[in-house]
Amino acid sequence: MAPAGAVDVAVVQFGPYTDTVANLTALRAEVKAASELGAKVVVAPEYSMFATKRLDERVVAAAEPLTGPFVTGLRGIAAEFGVHVVAGVVELPGGDEPPGRIFNTLVAASPAAEFAAVYRKVHCYDAFGFKESDFVVPGPLDQTPVFTVDGVVFGMQTCFDLRFPEGIRRLAAAGAHVLLLPAQWIPGPGKVDQWTTLLRARAIENTMYVAAADHAEPRGCGASMIVAPTGAVLAELGDAPGIATAHLDLEHLDEVRATNPSLALRRYTIRGE
């Protein structure tokens, strides 16, 4: 068995809005602060590049390809501070995708300013009176967005994907030790309780760490947190901007999975494994 790995992770909670340059500047400050706290992986929210409480044509106008200035700047920030940075961007589709819609995309940028992983959100937020699919093209179903830092394997999903355990189970089956979940969890009755319950459930049922970064109020619920594979909350925030950090250790993960070998005992498989 390979030696257990360990890494410090941060989730950053801030309030991106409609100015992509200002958002990138704010994100740089968050990554700098997180790196000074010792984090080697920094997770920012969904829609870190451009955010509104309800999508409209402005999000299409703001979209850029992954070669555009925002993602290029994101990769530069990762290199500047020597960390992996995961953030949500508004991607301009290419090829045969229909005009007038975007990909809701996560980019994991490495300290070498490379793409460690890219994930396009699969489940559009067509619920609670919203219809994200009016402006967002769902990503392909065959994605397995994972990358490795210091022996720890990270997988990525986005916001509303949290309500669909199959995608996260695919990541666990692909070897992920940690789920990274950038989100813009829109406020509403009971939404914080649902968010925290689902995050802890995904950790428990997959015996994996979960690091979830949300928007601060008013465009998000806040409550960003890092959860242990037992479901215990290691670090959490309120509804204001802030940074939460935790040390993720594969030795502890191995102990949890030895005590509760639910992944090894499962009798169903997920399509695409």
We report the CATH number of the domain holding residue 22 as 3.60.110.10
Domain-located, residue 273: no
Measured from the Cβ of residue 192, the count of other Cβ atoms closer than 10 Å reads 16
pLDDT digits 0-9 by tens, 195-250 = 999 999 999 999 999 999 999 999 999 999 999 999 999 999 999 999 999 999 99
Cα 33 to Cα 39: distance, rounded to the nearest angstrom = 9
Cα 29 to Cα 224: distance, rounded to the nearest angstrom = 18
pLDDT digits 0-9 by tens, 111-170 = 999 999 999 999 999 999 999 999 999 999 999 999 999 999 999 999 999 999 999 999
Domain-located, residue 271: no
Residue 109 to residues 71, 179, 189, Cα–Cα distance (Å)? 9, 16, 35
Burial of 55 (C-beta count, 10 Å sphere; 0-12/13-18/19+): buried
| Catalytic residue (choose from 121, 124, 132, 236) | 121
| Catalytic residue (choose from 30, 40, 64, 159) | 159
pLDDT band at 270 (very low <50, low <70, confident <90, very high): confident
pLDDT digits 0-9 by tens, 12-49 = 999 999 999 999 999 999 999 999 999 999 999 999 99
Rg (CA), the chain: 17
Question: Structure tokens of 170?
Answer: 């695919």
Domain count, the chain: 1
Domain-located, residue 1: no
Q: What is the DSSP string of 113-129?
A: SSEEEEEE--S----TT
Tell me, yes or no, if 46 is annotated catalytic.
yes
Tell me, yes or no, if 132 is annotated catalytic.
no
Domain-located, residue 2: no
Provide the residue range defining the domain that includes 99. 7-265
pTM summary value: 0.96
Question: Structure tokens of 61?
Answer: 């106008």
Cα 244 to Cα 224: distance, rounded to the nearest angstrom = 8
Q: What interhelical angle do 69-81 and 20-36 show, nearest 10?
A: 10
Kindly tell me if the per-residue pLDDT of 3 is higher than 80: no
Contact 165, 205 (CB under 8 A): yes
Domain-located, residue 105: yes
Which residue from 83, 115, 87 is spatially nearest to 213, judged by alpha carbons?
A: 87
What pLDDT is recorded for position 269? Answer: 85
Contact 14, 219 (CB under 8 A): no
Domain-located, residue 256: yes
Cα 216 to Cα 14: distance, rounded to the nearest angstrom = 5
